[in-house]
Every structure is written in C-alpha cells, then in structure tokens.
Structure 1
Amino acid sequence: MTTRSLNFTKAALDTLPAAQPGTRDTYHDSKTSGLLLRVTETGVKTFSVYRWLKGDSKPQRTTLGRYPQMTIERARTAAAQVNAVVEVGGNPADERKAKRAQGVTLRDAFKDFLAARKNLSPRTIYDYQRLMGFHSEEDRTDARRSKHKPRRSAESFKDWLDKPVVSITKDMVEKRHAKMGETSQAQANYAMRVLRTVLNFAAAKYDNSKGEPLLAENPVKRLSQTRAWYRVERRRTVLRSSDLKPWFAAVLALPNKRDDGSRTVVNAKPDDVRDYLLFLILTGARRTEAARLRWDQVDLDARTFTFPETKNKRPHTLPLSDYLYALLKERKTVVDGDYVFPGTGKGGYLVETRRQTEKVAKESGVPFTLHDLRRTFITIAESLDIPAYALKQLLNHKTGSDVTAGYIVMDVERLREPMQKVTDFVLRAAELRPSAAVASLIQREGHGRET
C-alpha cells in the first residue's frame, strides 16, 4: 500500500498504477490541505477530503467524486469548500445532508410520507394521490376509457410536485386556497389539510445543517393566522320518514340485468346496487366498507357479518336483521365471486353506482347521497332511544376519552335487538311488513312490492 504526497496534475494522475491486490494506495495533494486520491486494485481513482473535526476523536472522510469524471480543478474547489466548513466548526456530512434536504421536492416528501404511514387505508391513499395529481398513467388511461363521468379531479398541487418544499410560501398557500375555494370550499379546506400533514412530515423528517427542522414554520399555518379557512357546515341531509316509502319503491323497482351471454355487462348490475342500497340504509355501514364485504366475512349460521378493516382500525362485527339475513341468504345463491356486492372494476367489488342512484332519486323525488343513508340510520336509531353505547357500537365510532365506555364489552348479540328495531321502523315507514320475506319484497324478475 502506497501513501505519499503528490502535486495533482493530469499527467501525474493518469500514470498512477493500480494498487496491489487486496490494498488501496493513497496520494495527498501537495497544494490543497486534506485532498486525497485513493486508487484501488482495479485502478479506480476517487477524490476525498480527510480532516479532523472539532470535538471528534477521529478524522472524517468526505468523498468528492471519481477521477477523471471529476477534474482536478473541481476536486480542489470542492475540497476548499469542505475545509471552509471545517474551519468554522461545521460538519461536512451535515452540510451535505442539509443541501440534499433543501432539494427535497413535494413529490419526494409525499412519497416518503406514504411509505411511512403504514396504517392508511387504500381509500385514503387513493384520495391523497388523486389530490396531489400523483396517479400512474395506467390509472389515468383507465379513467379515460370509462364510460362513466369520473369524479371531479382535485389535483390541487400537481404543479407543485417538483418544487422544493422550502419554496412553498405562505402567499402561495393563501392564493391557492382562495382559488380552489371558487370551485368548492369544502374541497379547498380538505386539500390544505392534506398539504399541511405532508409538510409537517417533511419538517420532522428533513433537517438543515444545524439539525433543525427543514421548515421553520408550516406555510399552511397562514390560513389559521388570517382565519382564512372556509366555514363549511357539516352535511345534515337524511331521508325523512315520509321519504322512505317512495325511496324504497324506486330502489326495489330497479330492473334486474343478467348476463345471459348475449351481451356484456359493463357497469354494475342494478340488482347489485339495489341490494347494496338496502344494506347501507339498514346497517348504517360506511359505503366503502360495505362495498368491500366478502362472503367469507358473512356468517349466515350466526347471522352476523364482519368488517375486518375499518376507519378506526378495529374489526367490526354486527348482527343481521331478519330482512338482511334473508336478502344475503338469497344473494348467496345467485352471486358468483368473493364479494357480496361484486363490481366490474379492478378491485372486483362494487364502485360505480351513480347511474342507479340518480335513477332512484329521479323516480322517488328524494335526492340523496350514499352517506345520507348512514346518517338516516343514525337518526332513526337515536329516535328509537337506542342506548348511546349500543349506538356507538353499531356505528363503530370511537369512544374517545369516555372512560366508562372503555370498560363496556358489547357482545354482538346485545346489538341484535337494536339492529332489528331500526329495520322494523324503516320497513314500517316504507309500508313494508317487517316480517315479509325478501323474495316477495324484491322479486328478482317481477320487481313487485308487497304492501
């Protein structure tokens, strides 16, 4: 192994031999303090700086680059910069880390954020990606090919993805929030909450040269400081008791569509949507959790069903009322596949219901959203004086700081009577007998309705 001082010139470095097998030769530049050239047994030549740092027990090596890709002049300039940092008590490694952090883009931060958040649901990830304009070209192609009108895009930060996060200013945030609010104030608030979360993550993950957070202050804070958040009232729309009769009539009248081989069914079958809507209003289930319900999560013997992955990360088992038991038992005989409510999308479960829900709204005169059905279930359950703890369990709501609730173990059978009460009320309001057989209530071919 060779170690000696050398005036670094092109002629001198070009003629340096490879090191002996199993060793590396080191050459010190006679003109620049700390600048080294290391030569391996394969002849690879690499510039580095070797300096003692204040307070450290051993010197630190800073790799600069390979020769001849890095010229001698560039190596001496880089070494001088490292020396300047060391002379003032700095750490070149920290400086490099800070420099990399300064170049972290919103795209980089968002990728790292998703990688770190292992507990985000697929739906949440999809919404965040859609918001950031982060979907793959394959996803975009699928959306263009779809015959359905896609959900209004919320790609609020697509043009910011390649900007360093340190370049996103309070003024930019304020202007973008106001611009987005011209289309949807609720969406503007949601987008900024997501951006705030990603930037908080960036502030925690990336440091400057002093080990301080890359962002001294989250620029989204401007919206709180100036009270610019939009005041968006929580939706309170529900189906009233008087709405249930025409709504049920319109839902039960959705025509069957069987794929008999003579044509291809592109969209979700209306009978799948029909039963899905009935399931939502009679269970209060969240729409995505219900759509993803699999047959292996339904126990017809025990008359229960389970959502293993829920919004609050806890499995949720509920009883089936008599009406829903008969409905699912009948579906089991005619539905193929793993999902109770199958769909033609990539996931295999029901996703697109817009055409059928718009038809129900038009025929019944009752405008509604899928989440309105959950609110309707909650409102009816509360009106029936169902105990608060039982209602929370039916809805799988967190009990928060309620210490008493933490001691209550609510068995699924304790929820059977409350669940049946809601079903009985809804069917009476719809002028359907609570004990009526599903087969007669939603005849698959005749579409009749027993009164």
Structure 2
Amino acid sequence: MPRIKISKRTVDGIIPPPAGANDKATQEFYRDTELTGFGLKVTNKGTKTYIVEARVQGKAKRITLGKHGPLTPEQARKQAQITLGQIATGNDPVADKKDQQIKGVTLADAYRDYLLARHNLKPSTLGEYQRCIKGALSDWLNKPMTDITKDMIETRHRKLGETSVAGANGTMRVLRAIFNFAIEQYEDQKGQPIIQVNPTKRLSKTRSWYEVKPRQTLLTPTQLKPWFDATLKLNQETTRDYLHFLLFTGLRKSEASKMTWGNVNFNERSFLIPDTKNKDPHRLPMSDHLEALLKQRHFQSESPWVFPSPITDGPLKEPRTSIKRVIELSDIKFTLHDLRRTFATTAENLDIPHYALKRLLNHRAANDVTGGYIVPNAERLREPMQKITNYILGQIEGTDNDVSSK
C-alpha cells in the first residue's frame, strides 16, 4: 500500500485505478506518512474516501470518515486523530456510532417498523392507529423514543381525556404497544434494550387509566316495532335490508356490508363471512326470514355485493343519513352496533346455549379447553338462529312468538 503525505495537493493529484476485467470495480489504498492509521481509499470511479485503519478490541477494522471534497484533508486528519484516540482508550467508534443511531430512533421510526412487523393489520385497526399516533401524538413523531418520559405520557393522557376519555385511553394503548415493540426491537452493542421500562406503565401504577364503561344501549322489545316500521319508510331498499340483516344476524357492520353473493349458499341455506374481527371465518345459517330477504335481493341484484353502495361500485358504507332518518321517525336513538347487542341480548334471554351464543357472535372461547375441541357447524346453529328470528318478528308483529321455531 503506497504511503503519501495526505494533503489537498497530493489527494487531488491521485489518478483513479483502471477498472478490472469485465469492468469490475477496483480500488487502491494510500497510507499517511505522518499519522499512523490515517488513509485514503480511491476507486476506479474516481471516488476518494478518507479512512482509519486500526485494531479495535483485537480485530482489524477499516472505518470510513467521509469523502474528499465535502471533507478536507485537514478536517479528515483531525477526525482521524479523534477516532484513533477513542480506539486507544478501548472504545469502538463504529459500535458507538450505531448505539447513537439506535438511541436516536424516533416515535415515527418505531411506528413505521411496528407496522412493518404487524403487516396483517385490518384497515380499520390501521386507521385507528393513524388517528392516535399521527393525530393525538403528531408533535411527538420526531422525538427519540428515549426522550418520551413518564411525565409527558401522564400529562398528555390527562389532556386528551378532557376531550375524550375513551380516545385518551386508546391512544395510550397504541403507544404502549409501540413501546413494547421498541423494547424488543432496538438493542445497543451489548445486546441491551435501549428502553428499559415502558413509560406508559405510569398510567397503571398511578391508576390513571380512565374508566370507560361499555355501551349498554340496544333496542328493547317494545322498541322493535316502531324502529322496524320506521325503517320501512326509507327510500333506499338496500339500506333498509342492510339494517334488517344486522338485526337478524348480529353481525358487525363491516362484516355484513362487505358480503358478496359468492359468500351466499342458497342450497345449504347459509352464508359466510370470510374476513372477521378475530380472523376466523364465520358461517351462519339462514332463518326463514333471512332466506326470503336474501332471495329477494339476489333476484333484483346487478352487483356482486349483497348490499352495494348506491354511489360507487363498492359495498355500502355506514348509512349515516338513513340512520338519522330512522331515529327521527321512531324517536329511538341507536347505532349499528346496538343492533348486534339487541341480537345477543335476545339470544341470552331465550336461553340459547353458551357455546351456540358464542358461535352466533363469532366469539372465541378464551382459555376454554372444551371449546377448543368443538368443531363449528352452521347447521347446529339453525335452530337457535330461527328461535331468535321468531322472537324479534313476534315483537314486531305483536304475536309474542318468543320460544317456538318454525
């Protein structure tokens, strides 16, 4: 390796080496005559880079300082002296630099990496995460994760709670998940996590989480008839049928709205929801009322969607205008999820067996060994499904047909 006094004149005067066979990249190295370990790398492309060569903790290493041009020989020499001094005192500049980079990971960096790891998130979940991180915590995105303190979290949680206690809790739960991910994902050169404790634990330690009681609203038996009568006055038949379908199936709003005719099996009198909240495909039998509703829709349909949007080629979105209209006509406030609660409460009041109720609602039996041995069968749910339908129709028609199945 040639030895030269590294100066602007000598570096500028170095001619790049020729390319190798088949235009293969080549490079030459030059060592400084005054500072041992300081050198220059020159490629056949004409790139000239200042380097330091030394044994770091017993291993020969070549450390890049920077390119000639943006970095002058004098600046590179001073930087080389600092680097060699660090090595002489037992430090590893490369590892130290990586430590500094890893400790500088921002909330935006961690959030991006978290989403890459959780690549199967549903669009609705992703949308909620975006509202929390890029909405409620947008001013923290460029902060290093190590700079987000317990006090900051406690203060922000309290501030968010002034607007929405549920939103405040939701934001901090998402942040807690990202911190848990960061603790496992980002380590220093010694293999230690750069974040030792999840700072959102402060909220648990101080019992600062807001108490958010689940909604208990639903359609009572006496409200079923006026609500149903109000839906019949809607101009949009698709929206009317969609509301009825939710009431008589207990499905979540997106599960029903995204159904296609390919999911409906009239021969077996059943329908399938392939994409559910818990990712378990959900097959349900048709009661006689649902069968009639679906057959009528299928006869009139010109769309692959069971409940198509009247505006786009896609499925029906949440019909807020129609919901508002039904509320005005019936004087009964409700949400689409209230219809699911109505279905579930009706099933429970009719003493539908525990496992059948869980299957109807597509709830997993957590920590239930017995439930794990039961293979779901839509046909076993036909009688409970019909029983619930009969009761709801009985309340609507005033026949109190609450226990028999047709």
**Do both share a fold (TM > 0.5)?**
yes
Query: What is the CA–CA distance in structure 2 between the aligned matches of 1:344 and 1:199, rounded to whole Å?
Result: 43
Structure 1 residues 78, 235: CA separation in 2 closer, same or farther (over 3 Å shift)? Answer: farther
Residue of structure 1 aligned with 2:283, choices 317, 335, 338: 317
1:48 counterpart residue number: 51
Does the aligned pair in 2 maintain the 1:4–1:28 contact within 8 Å?
A: yes
1:66 counterpart residue number: 67
List per-residue Cα deviations over 1:97-136 (Å, max 9, x = no partner): 2222233222221111111102211111122112223xxx
Secondary structure of the residue aligned to 1:333 is: helix
Aligned-pair RMSD on alpha carbons? Answer: 2.1
Residue of structure 2 aligned with 1:185, choices 156, 165, 168: 165
Report whether the alignment pairs 1:159 with 2:160: no
- Give, in angstroms, the shift of residue 162 of structure 1: 2.1
Query: What is the CA–CA distance in structure 2 between the aligned matches of 1:79 and 1:331, rounded to whole Å?
Result: 77
Query: What is the CA–CA distance in structure 2 between the aligned matches of 1:342 and 1:434, rounded to whole Å?
Result: 33
1:222 counterpart residue number: 202
1:254 counterpart residue number: 234
Does the aligned pair in 2 maintain the 1:291–1:351 contact within 8 Å?
A: yes
> Normalization by structure 1: what TM-score?
0.83
Does the aligned pair in 1 maintain the 2:230–2:326 contact within 8 Å?
A: yes
Residue of structure 2 aligned with 1:14, choices 12, 15, 29: 12
Structure 1 residues 33, 281: CA separation in 2 closer, same or farther (over 3 Å shift)? Answer: farther
Residue of structure 2 aligned with 1:384, choices 345, 350, 372: 350
List per-residue Cα deviations over 1:243-284 (Å, max 9, x = no partner): 1111111112212xxxxxxxxxxxxxx322211111111111
Secondary structure of the residue aligned to 2:39 is: strand
- Give, in angstroms, the shift of residue 347 of structure 1: 8.1
> Normalization by structure 2: what TM-score?
0.91
Query: What is the CA–CA distance in structure 1 between the aligned matches of 2:52 and 2:105, rounded to whole Å?
Result: 26
Query: What is the CA–CA distance in structure 1 between the aligned matches of 2:311 and 2:199, rounded to whole Å?
Result: 39
Query: What is the CA–CA distance in structure 1 between the aligned matches of 2:112 and 2:313, rounded to whole Å?
Result: 23
Report whether the alignment pairs 1:118 with 2:119: yes
One-letter code aligned to 2:330: S
- Give, in angstroms, the shift of residue 170 of structure 1: 1.5
One-letter code aligned to 2:6: F
The worse-fitting range, judged by mean Cα deviation, of 185-194 and 82-91 is: 82-91
2:88 counterpart residue number: 87
Query: What is the CA–CA distance in structure 1 between the aligned matches of 2:354 and 2:85, rounded to whole Å?
Result: 68
* Percent of paired sites with the same residue: 46
Query: What is the CA–CA distance in structure 2 between the aligned matches of 1:239 and 1:81, rounded to whole Å?
Result: 75
Query: What is the CA–CA distance in structure 1 between the aligned matches of 2:205 and 2:225, rounded to whole Å?
Result: 49
Q: How does 1:299-448 map to 2 (within 5 A)?
A: 299-343=265-309, 348-431=314-397
Secondary structure of the residue aligned to 2:300 is: coil
One-letter code aligned to 1:374: R
Query: What is the CA–CA distance in structure 1 between the aligned matches of 2:33 and 2:85, rounded to whole Å?
Result: 18
Query: What is the CA–CA distance in structure 2 between the aligned matches of 1:346 and 1:79, rounded to whole Å?
Result: 64
List per-residue Cα deviations over 1:35-65 (Å, max 9, x = no partner): 2211112221112222222254xx2222222
Does the aligned pair in 1 maintain the 2:224–2:395 contact within 8 Å?
A: yes
One-letter code aligned to 1:102: K
Structure 1 residues 225, 347: CA separation in 2 closer, same or farther (over 3 Å shift)? Answer: farther
One-letter code aligned to 1:303: R
One-letter code aligned to 1:121: K
The worse-fitting range, judged by mean Cα deviation, of 323-332 and 33-42 is: 33-42
One-letter code aligned to 1:113: Y
Report whether the alignment pairs 1:205 with 2:173: no
One-letter code aligned to 1:97: K
Structure 1 residues 395, 54: CA separation in 2 closer, same or farther (over 3 Å shift)? Answer: same
Query: What is the CA–CA distance in structure 1 between the aligned matches of 2:311 and 2:153, rounded to whole Å?
Result: 36
List per-residue Cα deviations over 1:131-168 (Å, max 9, x = no partner): 223xxxxxxxxxxxxxxxxxxxxx21122222222222
Secondary structure of the residue aligned to 1:430 is: helix
Secondary structure of the residue aligned to 1:52 is: strand
Query: Which structure 2 residue ranges, 5 or more long, are not aligned?
Result: 21-25, 402-406
Query: Which structure 1 residue ranges, 5 or more long, are not aligned?
Result: 134-154, 256-269, 436-451
Query: What is the CA–CA distance in structure 2 between the aligned matches of 1:184 and 1:374, rounded to whole Å?
Result: 24
Residue of structure 1 aligned with 2:175, choices 187, 190, 195: 195
List per-residue Cα deviations over 1:147-206 (Å, max 9, x = no partner): xxxxxxxx2112222222222222221111111101111111011101111122222222
Structure 1 residues 358, 42: CA separation in 2 closer, same or farther (over 3 Å shift)? Answer: same
The worse-fitting range, judged by mean Cα deviation, of 76-85 and 27-36 is: 76-85
- Give, in angstroms, the shift of residue 96 of structure 1: 2.5
Structure 1 residues 353, 388: CA separation in 2 closer, same or farther (over 3 Å shift)? Answer: same
Secondary structure of the residue aligned to 2:74 is: helix
1:99 counterpart residue number: 100
Query: What is the CA–CA distance in structure 2 between the aligned matches of 1:334 and 1:70, rounded to whole Å?
Result: 74
Query: What is the CA–CA distance in structure 1 between the aligned matches of 2:115 and 2:19, rounded to whole Å?
Result: 45
Query: What is the CA–CA distance in structure 2 between the aligned matches of 1:93 and 1:345, rounded to whole Å?
Result: 58
Does the aligned pair in 2 maintain the 1:423–1:434 contact within 8 Å?
A: no
One-letter code aligned to 1:221: K
Query: What is the CA–CA distance in structure 2 between the aligned matches of 1:161 and 1:353, rounded to whole Å?
Result: 35
One-letter code aligned to 1:216: Q
Structure 1 residues 91, 306: CA separation in 2 closer, same or farther (over 3 Å shift)? Answer: farther
Query: What is the CA–CA distance in structure 2 between the aligned matches of 1:91 and 1:421, rounded to whole Å?
Result: 73
1:439 counterpart residue number: none
Query: What is the CA–CA distance in structure 2 between the aligned matches of 1:75 and 1:345, rounded to whole Å?
Result: 65
